[in-house]
């Protein structure tokens, strides 16, 4: 018959069994949490049928010649890089200032 005091002093029972339970139980728990994550991603990915139809229409193959003809007419020489407002700047005020500076140059 087992002696309870002897089991309490046994290092395998004292440290090994809880560690084994933690590792095995943790893997099952982690699997459940990961499954919740993937299920929520699956729900978020579902699109409205009308929006999905629009997305599928836009996935037609791109023909280089057609893209060249479309881009050829753009006036790229008149393009100017204008930086956006910084987080601490008022965006409306900064945009108005950039527009007024651009109008003065033309």
Quick one: pLDDT at residue 42? 81
Domain presence at residue 94: no
> Is the pTM above the cut of 0.85?
no
Domain presence at residue 57: yes
The span from the CA of 1 to the CA of 103, in Å, is: 97
Measured CA angle at 84 (ends 81, 70), to 5 deg: 45
Q: Is the pLDDT of residue 1 over 60?
A: no
Mean pLDDT of 45-73: 76
Number of folded domains in the chain?
1
Domain presence at residue 85: no
Q: Is the pLDDT of residue 19 over 70?
A: yes
Domain presence at residue 26: yes
Domain presence at residue 13: yes
């Amino acid at each position: 018959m087992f002696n309870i005091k002897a089991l309490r002093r046994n290092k395998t029972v004292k440290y090994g069994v809880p560690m084994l339970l933690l590792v095995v139980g943790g893997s099952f728990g982690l699997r459940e949490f990961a499954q919740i994550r993937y299920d929520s991603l699956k729900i978020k990915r579902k699109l409205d049928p009308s929006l999905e139809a629009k997305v599928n229409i836009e996935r037609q193959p791109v023909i280089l010649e057609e893209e060249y003809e479309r881009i050829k007419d753009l006036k790229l020489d008149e393009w100017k890089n204008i930086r956006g407002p910084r987080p601490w700047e008022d965006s409306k005020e900064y945009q108005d200032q950039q527009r007024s500076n651009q109008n003065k140059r033309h």
